[in-house]
Structure 1
Amino acid sequence: MAESNPGTGEVSGRIKEIHCQPCLNKDNQTTNVAEKFCLSCNEFQCLDCSNVHYTHAFLRNHKLVNASEAKTKQGSFDMKGLDQCDQHQEVLKFFCEDENQLCCSTCAIVDHRKCHSVVEILKVAGRSTYRSSTLKVKLEEVREKANIIVDSIVSSKEKLDEDGKGILVEIRRMRDEVMKMFDELEIFVVKDVGSFQKETLEKLTLKQSQNEKYLTDITTCLETIDNVYQNGSLVQQFIVEQKMKNDVNVLHKNVNAECQGLETVTVTFNFDETLKLPPLPVTDYVPGQLTLSFCLSEIANSIVPVNKAMILTPVYSIDLKQEKDDVKEPLYTGIDFLPDARLVAVDNKNKKCLVYNEKLEKVGSYQLSYSPQSVVVVSEEEVAIICANPLKLDILRVTKTSDITLDRTIKVTTQYTSICQKDDKHFVGGTINHSTPVRVISSTGEENDFNINFPSKSYPLDTSNCTYIRSSDKVVLTDRSEHTVHIYDIKTNRRVVVKDEQIKEPLGVAVGPFDTILVCSNRKNSIVQISQTGQILSSFKTDMTYPRRICVLRDKSFLAITNSVVSERKLQKFKISY
């Protein structure tokens, strides 16, 4: 009689069956028991599937062994808790294809019971499209950039030291002509240079330490990936990929940010050789000017934004129908994502602010006293709504449970049709019938103009929208009547004008992945992706007529659009990939 083994949960004397992996990948109704294991393919196979090695010449050098010999080798990779559910501390056994999440038994029953496709990891692991090569390519890219940062910082520190020594040499040459004054000058300059060097070296050392930590994390990730693909099972490989995607994305984001902000420190000294030296101490008259400054590194300047064409996959779609408490058919003139992926929308016709969850199910509503023009998310629990009549900007609080309350009102003097955030204390608004098409609004209601030579043209309601690109300090303005998108560089006061057959009556605009520009091409019923230099990167045909507004989730993983055609108004959500 067979006995139970309490240590493993298996019955002694009984051999655990392993099923053929090619059969599982074909989704066969019945799968054969694996009798062979291919060391080259790294998978268990039944006799029928393993016989392929004898019929195809390029497979004949693969080594086949009995499945029983290979069973002890599988699962030898130490997952170090990666195969445990973070919430329930149970083994991960399932994968929800609807929400792209790993699940334990409790997750599958409690949290994903309404999902349509929750499958065993063993069945989906073999057909995973997110392989180690993808993670490794991204990690290698991040590691290369992190190495560039560290090398640049080391070079900058050496240059800083050389600059300091060079100044001393120049001062000593000058001291031969005016000994006493330059003795005092040396003391004066050395003190300031030393103070600047000390402060700067501390900052550079801290930055270097942070990026060396990134390198350590990258190396650990690469070692884990290599190890699991050499020793781990397909299930373990799949779990590691899913678990590490977020870590890799965070590393990618952090190192990219470090690259964009990489600085070279310089110290210079300029002496006026026409100087007439008065009999005054150096504290009263300094024969030269010490300049302590930071400048953007050439390396950072050479790292240009990545212009990748995006791929949009429809996720959820709802029809916007008139409900019992609605006066008219809904018209959403503004949408934006909260950081937790809930969607905020403003209904111009029914004077409402609404909140939708990740599946576009309405979870919150707030009645306004005016017709809103646009909305922008300010923080985790704050949104700003602009109104053209009366002239004001309302700040509303949206709780985690989607309760909405009015927090404060900011008075303005200009009519605005669109709004986005410039920084923590300022907004950018697209104006209505104003001499300046785009203005800056402070959190206290002060309004100012950009230092840009805008064309002398005003825009009536629904003929233009704007957005702002923080990373490059650029304003984007759509011109519906001219079928044009304008990209203004604030720093250089230069403009890129984008006209293309794919852009007809552009209106809604948002900042997309890699800080590219996404525009609603109204008459083409499409979303057009544009680089900051004006290059058309991609165009996606929607199944809605006259797309009007667009917004993108903060991590650039999802976007939402809505339209304005009568009786066919929709709200749709898409997943962004590349």
Structure 2
Amino acid sequence: MEVPGKQKPKQTFSVSRGSAEDFLLFCIPCDRDGVRVPAKGYCSTCKEHLCDTCYKHHKKQTPSRHHILLDQDSMPTTPSVPIVKDEFDSCDDHEDEKLKFYCKDHDIVVCSVCVTLNHRLCSVEYIPKLSKHILDSEELNEIMAEMKALEDNYKSQIKRVKDEMKAISKKHDDVTKAIHQFRKEINTRLDKMEKHVFKEADNILLKQQTKLNDLSTGVQEITDKLTEKRNQLDNLIQRKCLDKLFVEMKETKKRVEEMRMKQKQYCRVDVFQTVSFVKNSDIVDMLDRHKQLGELITKKASMGENVPVMKPTSTPSEDKTLNLEAVEDIDMNSSSGITKCDITGIEIIIRTK
């Protein structure tokens, strides 16, 4: 049973800011200053609840004295929701200016000073005008899809690296078994040479593992950055911070291109080597004449040669551009001296290196 004059305890929207009691209906202007005060009125123009003090000042101040005010008995009984305004980032070159404009010619966001100094002849538009339809824009959908595909590719590559590391370890185990088997066929005088060949094998393995670990670390770092950027864009989309989303989208677009180039570097072939053990056949008959137990043969192999390769969800298309080079001029003059040329076709001769 409710007691007259007693505030109804707050059940939702409870955010304590130092006061002894939270209220369902509180003063929005005071709440912005970090103080939670019960509402005693409401401004229909500002769409905000007001405490007794703010209510009185609201009627006196010139900007708000003509606003439509409702007293405590007439005010809405649902909490006011403050409007969150999208904030612009500051310009790196002009700290007091905000990045509110977009230059189509240079595909960058700029401030008003940048426009005046460097983009007077460019096609410049106001970002709040452009960002109204950004949530439905094809560009945003494409960059989000591209980031997701790129992130999936990096995750797939991480799996390939792990599989490759297992394959290299297995290959090393096979080499070790071969060395031990051959070692059983000879006498104890080969201990020194055995240690030498094991050391050489371990050094090769260590180099391959170091390369793969470095690759795994690099790919993981880029994957984390992609996840972070995609989460930032998702967050801005959910919050509908359109201007901030536009700016982040443009910045992220450039970062994605950089990450795509790094991915091409990570996909290089002929980086890793496989190793196998070849027994020295002469050592069986002429043991004293040899210094080593055998030799380790290495060959270059592309990553994934030893394990099944999973096709990525989406990968950048391979560069199939042909570089054409003119070898020499072709004399088109006929023996009869006729100057008119009746060539009806042409063929390109491609010389591979």
So what's the TM-score if we normalise by structure 2?
Answer: 0.62
2:236 to 205, 221, 228: 228
The aligned runs of 1:436-515 (5 Å cut-off) are 459=330, 482-490=345-353
Distance 1:302 1:258, change over 3 A: same
Letter in 2 for 1:113: R
Native 8 Å contact 2:275 2:297 kept in 1 = yes
Gaps of 5+ in 1: 1-6, 18-67, 310-419, 421-427, 434-458, 462-479, 491-578
Alignment partner of 2:128 out of 98, 111, 122: 122
User: 3-state SS of the aligned residue for 1:306?
Assistant: coil
- Which residue in the other structure is 2:69 paired with? none
8 Å CA contact 1:172, 1:182 repeated in 2: no
Distance 1:305 1:181, change over 3 A: farther
Instruction: Sort the Cα spacing of 1:481 and 1:15 in 2 relative to 1 into closer, same or farther, 3 A.
Output: farther
SS at match of 2:298: strand
Partner of 2:327: 431
1:263 Cα deviation (Å)? 4.3
Aligned to 2:301, which of 295, 302, 312? 295
Q: 1:102 to 1:305 in 2, by over 3 A?
A: closer
User: Which residue does the alignment assign to 1:254?
Assistant: 262
Is 1:219 aligned to 2:227, yes or no?
A: yes
Cα–Cα, structure 1 residues 197 and 276, in superposed 2: closer, same or farther, change >3 Å? closer
CA contact (8 A) 1:94 1:120 kept: yes
Amino acid at match of 1:297: M
Q: Which residue among 156, 161, 182 is the counterpart of 2:169?
A: 161
Residue type matched to 1:87 in 2?
A: D
Aligned to 1:110, which of 101, 107, 117?
117
Q: 1:432 is aligned with what amino acid?
A: E
* Rounded Cα–Cα distance in structure 2 between residues aligned with 1:263 and 1:121: 46
Question: Which one has more relative contact order, counting CA pairs under 8 Å at least 6 apart?
Answer: 2
1-side partners of 2:45 and 2:160: how far apart? 59
Cα deviation, 1:60-109, whole Å, max 9, x if unaligned, reads: xxxxxxxx96662453xxx7xx7222322321111223332212110122
Name the structure where helix makes up a greater proportion of residues: 2
Note the 1:371-450 alignment, pairs <5 A: 430-433=326-329
User: For the residues of structure 2 that align with 1:211 and 1:140, how far apart are their CA atoms?
Assistant: 15
2-side partners of 1:267 and 1:253: how far apart? 30
The answer to whether 1:72 aligns with 2:74 is no
Q: 1:290 to 1:141 in 2, by over 3 A?
A: same
Question: Shift of the alpha carbon at 1:294?
Answer: 3.2
How many residues were matched structurally?
A: 262
Deviation at 1:136, TM superposition (A): 2.1
What displacement does 1:247 show?
A: 0.7
- Tell whether the 8 Å contact from 2:164 to 2:303 is kept in structure 1 after alignment: no
Which structure 2 segments of 5+ residues have no match? Answer: 1-31, 34-42, 48-78, 333-342
- Give 1:72's aligned amino acid: I
Runs of 4+ in 1 over 6 A off after TM superposition: 13-17, 299-305
What's 1:133 paired with?
A: 141
Identity percentage of aligned residues: 17
Q: Work out the CA distance in 1 between the residues paired with 2:316 and 2:150.
A: 14
Match of 2:108 in 1: 101
Equivalent position amino acid for 2:328 in 1: I
Residue number in structure 2 paired with 1:199: 207
Pair member with larger Rg: 2
What pairs with 1:295-334 in structure 2 (closer than 5 Å)? Answer: 295-298=301-304, 306=317
The answer (yes or no) to whether the contact 1:264–1:294 under 8 Å persists in 2 is: yes
CA distance in 1, matches of 2:319, 2:270: 23
Distance 2:208 2:318 in 1: 34
Q: Which amino acid aligns with 1:267?
A: V
Cα distance between partner residues in 2 of 1:85 and 1:170:
65
**Distance in 2 separating the partners of 1:157 and 1:108:** 53
Whole-Å separation in 1 of the counterparts to 2:203 and 2:156: 27
Counterpart amino acid of residue 180 in structure 1: T
- SS where residue 276 of structure 2 aligns? strand
Q: Report the TM-score, using the length of structure 1 for normalisation.
A: 0.40
Q: Which residue of 2 aligns with 1:84?
A: 90
Contact 2:171–2:276 under 8 Å retained in 1:
yes
- Equivalent residue, structure 2, for 1:552: none
